[in-house]
Each structure stands twice: as C-alpha cells, then as structure tokens.
Amino acid sequence: MKKWKNMPGYWPDDLPRVIFSAPLINLLAGVGLANTTTTNPVPRIEKITSGPVELIVTADPPLVHLDRDILLSIKTVAPSDVTVRLPPLENRLTGFTLSGAFDREPTARDGASTHEHCYRLTPLVAAEYRLAPIAVTYTNTNRPNAPESWFATRALVFGIAPIGNGSPGASIRDIRGPVWIYPSLQTVLAWVAILVLLATVGWALYRLSRRIHRAIQLRRMSPRERALEELSDLMNRNLLSKNQVKEFFMELTLIVRRYIERAHHIRAPEQTTEEFLMAASCNPQFRPEVLGKLRAFLQNADLVKFAEYRPESVAVDRAFGTVKDYVETDDQPLPTPDTRQVSNKEPDNKSKKKLTG
C-alpha cells in the first residue's frame, strides 16, 4: 500500500478533504480578520489622584483619526464637601479644535460626588496632537477659611492611527441619541444683546406709534374737546399728590392759553398775562364777567409760578373748576362779518365804475 502511495499517478483517499478544507480555512481567517478590524479599540484612560480628588481622563477613540472626533471625558470624584474646578481647554489643545462641550448629570454615592465634563475634539492636520497639563483646583466648603488647593495633570499625547485602520464614520458609542452642545459664553452674550436691542427698538416704536396716534386723535378734536381731554390727563398725572403744585398750575395755564389760541385765534401762549388780558379786553368774544374770572385765575397762577405762593387745596380746586367751567361754557368764536356789515362797506373802485357807467 505504501508502494502505491509513492507512485506519481496515485490519487490519495484524503485529497478531497485537503482541497475543500483550504477554502474553509481562508474563509475563517477572513472572518477573524474582519472581526479584528471592525472591533472598536478600547478607550484610553488616565487616572490621577491628589488628596481627596480623583481625576479620570478618558479618550475615545484612543488614537487620532482625521475623519472622526475624539470624545474627551474628564471625570472628577471627590467628597460632597469638596468643590472641584477645571480650567478652560481652548488654550490647552494642540492639533485639535474644540467643537463642543457638555456635562453629564452629576451623581452622588457613599458621600462622594462624581462630575463628568465631556469635550468633542476635532482633529486638524498637524504634526502633533496633545492636551497640555491642566491645573485642577479644589476647595473644602466646610472650612470657610481653607486655602484653595490644586494639582496638575500629565500631558496627554495622542498617537495617529494608520490610514484605513478602523471603520470610517464610526460613531462614539458613549453618546446615545442627540446631545445638546451648549453655546459659548460669547455667543450667549451676543444673542442677549441682540434681544435687548430688539426689545428696546420695539418698545420705542410702540411708544412712537402711540404718540402719533394720540396726536392724530387730538388734532381731530374740537378746541373744547381737546382742552377737556388735556384737563383729564392733567388730573390723571396726580401732580398734587406728588406735591408738585407749581407744575400743576403751569400745565393748567398752558391748557387755558392753548384753548384760547385754538378757539379765538389769540396767541395767548406767547403773551404775558398783562398782554393777553389787554388783547382779550379789546376782543368782543370775551364777556366782562368771563374776562374777570380769567384775570383772577391767571394772576393767582402767576403768584404760584413766580412768587412761590402755596395755595390751599380749596384754592387749587377752585382754580381747576374755573378753567373747566370756562372751557365748557365758553361761547363759540364769532362768525365772520354778516352781510349787513359787508353791505355797509364803501364800494370799491370797480363797483363805482359800474354804478357810474
């Protein structure tokens, strides 16, 4: 039998097994190779302990892939009465740009508090990828006068993964679902400033529109309606309760003078009291009894405005009542000259020519 096996033309019995087992071995080897290439690498973990504080730095993935971000996690474990602070990382990075940051929910267990701060690092094309040492400070809150302690971490240098190693586009497994990345302080302040500016402009436009609408309403009113509206606004300002008697009389006299100017076409606001009384005495629209009341009111108002006279509340009420009664009972302006007065005028030159012609 051995003689036949050594002959060149002999077909061994176990040759089919050899032929069919080789592809199987290759297939198994390929599956094993695929499993090794698709398996996510173990994150890089660095632990530092100083006093009561334990710092755990985790980088996932541990090597730099130009097509992937690195999730850097800095976890602090300290007693509940110890406050731990981390400095900003923007100026501690080399070869990375900080694309976002967020904090996980703190946990407390066995008298210790755990805080985890996460940073998304986007690699750039650089010769070195490094996280410089950072100074971690901590304070004991139970001791008000206790000094602030600190310690420094070691520099974290990242290696560069070979091109094609790993599965491109793989997501960070620690992030489950959408993650809110908090905006920077400068962005928040800029948006707050914009909102405040928009609110201020909106409020100013609203006030301006109200004033324009109010001015249009007042212009459509008759002189009597407008004066009564101004008197109502004056009382709503409560100047008397604020002990502003002088300002009250100044506004009251201006209301009277503006009403006289609109109703009787006398420029009362620009005239002194004597000038106005002289012009009004020559105007047939002012009856003697009305002119007497106006004279007494204006002279008393001048004492309050210029002589620091402090009238009693009864005198103030009497002055306001005088103005309101005058506005409500004032006669309308006299009509234009009637036809009888026109007919009594001397005819002009053209009329004389017609009559003599």
Contact 166, 37 (CB under 8 A): yes
* Residue 67 amino acid letter: D
Beta bridge partners of 136: 151
156 phi and psi angles, rounded to 5 deg: -110, 110
Q: What is the pLDDT of residues 26-79, one digit of tens each?
A: 444 444 444 444 467 899 899 889 888 899 999 998 999 888 899 999 999 989
For the chain, helix, strand, coil in percent to 5 are 45, 20, 35
How many CB atoms lie under 10 A from the CB of residue 276? 21
Least confident span in 87-101, 105-119, 211-225: 211-225
* Angstrom distance (rounded) from CA 121 to CA 59: 10
Q: What is the pLDDT of residues 274-305, one digit of tens each?
A: 888 888 888 787 888 888 888 888 888 888 88
pLDDT at 332: 52
**Mean pLDDT within 166-185:** 65
**Mean pLDDT within 241-249:** 87
pLDDT at 336: 43
**Mean pLDDT within 106-113:** 87
Least confident span in 14-23, 47-56, 130-139, 324-333: 14-23
* Angstrom distance (rounded) from CA 242 to CA 209: 29
pLDDT at 11: 44
Q: What is the pLDDT of residues 270-281, one digit of tens each?
A: 788 888 888 888
Q: Is the pLDDT of residue 197 over 90?
A: yes
How many CB atoms lie under 10 A from the CB of residue 323? 21
